[in-house]
Structure 1
């Protein structure tokens, strides 16, 4: 039996996809990645929260933009983004460009 997070990732085709964190060695920590990632995501006018699981300290979310989906864990302990490789590359490139203009 799948838990809710596994169900969310599976429903949007993200069960086997990788993490944005592995692509951003040039960022100092998850808090910096969180800040830049949200700055980039908020530039998409069609950014939409599709599904979520919220707890006291944060939650897990599925967002969509430009016909793509991302799974985001954002809580007081950690931050992570899971998506298809081309979406991760797009986000990482935009985050680096924003950090190092």
Structure 2
């Protein structure tokens, strides 16, 4: 059972890093929306291509409010934080049960 506990802990760590990376990409996207950059820059295109599928779904559900303020990055950021705490926390809790036995 020790092997299963280690495996679940490793999966939790990988999921945490992936969600953390995506969270920073969403923050970068929000910051880049405030400045005018070259849309053909590979880094800008990567950030846009990674975040746009998620942000567009949120935008279709919750439109921008008066003044053009887009709350979709904030909603995605909060959702990623929730998923990180929920999924990673549960995986770590389950893995600790295997260490005790």
Q: Shared fold by TM > 0.5? A: no
> Structure 1-normalised TM-score?
0.22
- Indicate the structure (1 or 2) with the bigger Cα radius of gyration: 2
Q: Determine which structure has the larger strand proportion and give its number.
A: 1
> Structure 2-normalised TM-score?
0.22
Q: Which of structures 1 and 2 has the larger relative contact order (alpha carbons within 8 angstroms, sep 6+)? A: 2
Q: Determine which structure has the larger helix proportion and give its number.
A: 2
